[in-house]
A and B are shown apart, each in its own frame.
Chain A
């Protein structure tokens, strides 16, 4: 099943590849063919992806909606500053006594929120969001060229040099976590700050979160803070019915959160 699938994907990819300008082919003809030279172990000897499997825990009950995570994410990953590109963002939920729920996220929460009109509010809270790094990621399944993939350590990444900008993955993501980079015209999303992980640092959003509303950890390690987080909280994931097996775990999530 899996093989048949990847074969047909391969065909589509070859087709698309051939549609690309021929000069690229000529260029690479001139380069050496040593396959081993690019293997990843070589450049990062200390880091073994097989030893890790990352996930994030989020406790909306601790989130103060300061937006520092969204700010740090943009600075760390050179995300375009325009208010509609985010790798992580914060939503404010206002559940009214009438039953209606108003969700806002002006500028992703970076510049703060205007105060809630307090009359008729039943409850109100913040929810941080980001790519869920699904173990069964719909975005990876729809990519026609293999430009988005899951690493052995459980992170969904985009190969921006290989992405053809077809936007399938942006459509497929149930969490709205992807966008098209306005300059490179390739798909973009949260990487769990992969470049920090391989150096033993936590993602930038976790580093700057002042209330530990975000917990980062390794699902393979019992001593990980994520393990404790999952032991002591009632855990929920977003849109579980889609079977995407997200790896961003929410503690005591409100039923209104979609």
Chain B
């Protein structure tokens, strides 16, 4: 074999060896074990510290409060939403104390009025709703109740109430169109108000021959928009004739 070939072979051999060696060192140990990634990374991520202990954990020691909460309207509101992450407290209850939000600021995060919130969710205007005094002076935070039943339907249907208030129907009370059992205000999902069911309902005021005040605009209900119920074209909380 010519000398230059052997020399080259040696050089290549060394290079390849160096490459193999470098590769075995540079590629992390667990790379490729479970897929095209470092399997150890999963273990590392799984070992991250937990901050939120979860509401089940609290119940072990605060049984009374957990019970109160699960019977009230805040049953789905986790303890740590209000008290902050408390895993450290669970680990060392007497050394680490979670904060308790007593100020007015916290509750409106959920209860402040915003029309984007779904209808039926209890909302207040934090500025005008019994100002200054802390919310918890009237509402028990773990099982909140309203000291008296809300008068206005707008307490939970704020967006509808506001729309209705500036509409042509402003003077027609909600309960004229929705027969509402009082219990709807305390157990809204179980007891539901009625809703108008037929064209005849609107016709009661708007038909040509209806015995309603004469300033109310009339339509011929047998032909006007016949195939549809009225509220398929006119939003009942803000009826428009344009």
Q: Which residues of A contact B (CB under 8 A)?
A: 6, 9, 14, 17-18, 20, 24-25, 28-29, 33-35, 38-40, 43-44, 47, 49, 61-68, 72, 75-77, 92-94, 112-113, 115-116, 118, 121, 124-126, 146-152, 157, 159-162, 191, 194-196, 198-199, 201-202, 204, 207-208, 210-212
Bound Cα distance A194, B49 (Å)? 11
Q: Is the CB of A18 within 8 A of B22?
A: yes
Known: A20-B26, A38-B43, A68-B81. 11 other contacts (CB 8 A): A18-B22, A24-B26, A72-B52, A75-B51, A75-B84, A118-B162, A125-B118, A126-B116, A149-B41, A194-B46, A196-B52
CA distance A15 to B27 in the complex (A): 11
Query: Which are the 3 A-B pairs with shortest beta-carbon distances?
Result: A159-B41, A149-B37, A195-B48
Instruction: Flag if A210 contacts B76 (CB, 8 Å).
Output: yes
Are the CB atoms of A115 and B42 closer together than 8 Å?
no
Residues of B contacting A43 with CB < 8 Å? 43, 46-47
Say which size band chain B's interface belongs to.
35 or more
With A61-B118, A208-B52 already in contact, the answer to whether A44 and B37 are too (CB < 8 A) is no
Given A75-B85, A208-B78, A210-B110: A64 in contact with B26 (beta carbons within 8 A):
no
B interface residues with partner A (beta carbon < 8 Å): 22-23, 25-31, 33-52, 54-55, 74, 76-78, 80-81, 84-85, 108-110, 112-118, 121, 159, 162-163
Asked if A159 meets B37 with Cβ closer than 8 Å, knowing A72-B85, A207-B55, the reply is yes
Whether B77 and A199, one on each chain, are in contact in the complex, defined by CB atoms closer than 8 angstroms, is no
For residue B42, which residues in chain A have a CB less than 8 angstroms away from its CB? 40, 49, 151, 157, 194
Please name all residues of chain B whose beta carbon is closer than 8 Å to the beta carbon of A28 when the two chains form the complex: 25-26
Specify which chain A residues have a CB less than 8 angstroms from the CB of B117 in the assembled complex.
64-65, 126
Partner of A64 from B44, B81, B121 at Cβ < 8 Å: B121
**Distance between Cα atoms of A172 and B76 in the complex (Å):** 37
In the complex, the chain A residue whose C-beta lies closest to that of B33 is A39
A210 contacts B50, C-beta separation under 8 Å: no
24 cross-chain CB contacts under 8 A = A14-B23, A24-B26, A25-B25, A35-B29, A38-B29, A38-B30, A38-B40, A49-B42, A72-B52, A113-B116, A115-B115, A118-B163, A124-B116, A126-B116, A146-B36, A149-B35, A161-B44, A162-B28, A194-B46, A194-B48, A199-B50, A201-B52, A207-B80, A211-B121
Query: Do A211 and B76 touch (CB < 8 A)?
Result: yes
Q: Check if A17 sits within 8 Å of B27, measured CB to CB.
A: yes
**CA separation between A201 and B53, bound complex, in Å?**
8
Which residues of A are found within 8 Å of B26, using beta-carbon distances?
14, 17-18, 20, 24-25, 28
Least CB distance, A149 to chain B, in whole angstroms: 4
With A66-B109, A210-B78 known as contacts, the answer to whether A29 contacts B25 (CB < 8 A) is yes
A147: B residues at CB distance < 8 A: 37-38
The reply to whether B77 and A210 contact each other, CB–CB distance below 8 Å, is yes
Task: Point out the residues of chain A lying under 8 angstroms from B38, CB to CB.
Answer: 146-147, 159, 161-162
CB-based contact A92/B76 at 8 Å: no
Q: Are B116 and A65 in contact (CB under 8 A)?
A: yes
Q: Could you tell me if B41 and A162 are in contact, using CB atoms closer than 8 angstroms?
A: yes
A150-B34 Cα distance, complex, nearest whole Å: 10
A210 touches B114 (CB 8 A): no
Across the interface, do B81 and A76 meet the contact criterion of CB distance under 8 Å? no
CB-CB nearest in chain B for A150: B35
With A65-B116, A66-B110, A208-B80 in contact, do A40 and B36 touch (Cβ < 8 Å)?
A: no
CA distance A201 to B163 in the complex (A): 42
Q: Enumerate chain A residues within 8 angstroms of B77, measured Cβ to Cβ.
A: 210
Please tell me if the beta carbons of B116 and A116 are within 8 angstroms of each other in the complex. Answer: yes
Q: Is the CB of B50 within 8 A of A207?
A: no
CA gap between A4 and B18 in the complex, in Å:
25
